[in-house]
Amino acid sequence: MALSDKPVLLTGASGTIGRLLSVKLAELGWTLRLTDVVPLAIPLPQNASFDRVDLEDQQAVNRLAEGCGLILHFGGISTEQSFETVLGPNLRGSFHIYEAARSQKARVVFPSSVHAVGLYERTEILDQDCLLRPDGYYGLSKAYGEMLARLYWDKHAIESVLIRIGSVLPEVPDERILSTWISHNDFVRLIERCAEAQHVGCSVIWGQSNNSRGFWRHDARQKIGWTPLDSSDGQAERVRGKVTDNPVVERYQGGKFIVVDYSRADFPPRSMFPDE
């Protein structure tokens, strides 16, 4: 039985990805409990309910999660912001989600990000077990979420799929995103597999389509039975030359997020832990 046969909690339903999933998963017949801290930005889909809830309210999160077999946790701050701004929604909010998952023995899909590894240079090809290298406080919150998921798997047997999302967009807007792009259809199919896979443990998936310019390779996609069908390659000519004039932005996988509050006079060392 797929976990989507029970109610599915989707946080961040008014966000860009949340709106996409709300519509597409409802079309698949899922019963959705949608929530966000702001009003729902789309008409309420069939077989869905919506509650305006702050993720920092543990009791409200617990109430929404009751009876759910799957939690799609897309709520929280989604851009580079100050630590104090990110702290409540992304750190405390994720903790509340995992506590709710523990009480319901629910599986969690946690959207990590390219920004959890954003300070790797674009010439580097990363595997799922690479050291995390966040490019700001937002990326740091995603690294925290990955470690939180691992803790709850190791101590409480709560399963998670950690999707290190590149760029979920209808089309590629610039050269960098030729590497990180994941199509809407590939992303929705990935979420389907997160619900249908029999066992996932604590799995890392690189959230990119089948892009020849991709920065990432080995992950757990075979374990959950997902193969991306789309590719950014056919969009390369359209975005040729669409780059910034900032050498830091153009050097690193995380792109523009990196230069927010960037105060080095040079580039970070290529090696994370250089030999003394």
SS3 154: helix
Q: Partners of 121 in the beta sheet?
A: 252
The answer to whether the CB of 167 falls within 8 A of the CB of 181 is yes
Tell me whether residue 144 is one of the annotated catalytic residues.
no
* Active-site residue, selected from the candidate residues 98, 137, 138, 252: 138
Tokens matching residue 118: 């954003």
Looking at residue 269, what DSSP letter applies? P
CA 268 to CA 148: how far, in whole Å?
Answer: 27
Residues 255, 251: Cα–Cα separation, whole Å: 8
Q: Give CA 71 to chain center in angstroms.
A: 13
CA separation, residue 68 to residues 5, 136, 187 (Å): 9, 33, 21
Mention every residue, 6+ apart, whose C-beta is less than 8 A from residue 202. Answer: 149, 150, 153, 154, 159, 160, 162
Give the distance, in angstroms, between the CA of residue 98 and the centroid of all CA atoms in the same chain: 15
Residue 42, both tokens: 């789309």
Phi and psi for 148 in degrees, rounded to 5?
Answer: -60, -45
DSSP 8-class letter at 132: P
Tell me the CA distances in angstroms from 2 to 13, 132, 170, one per residue in order: 21, 31, 28
Q: Which residues are catalytic?
A: 138
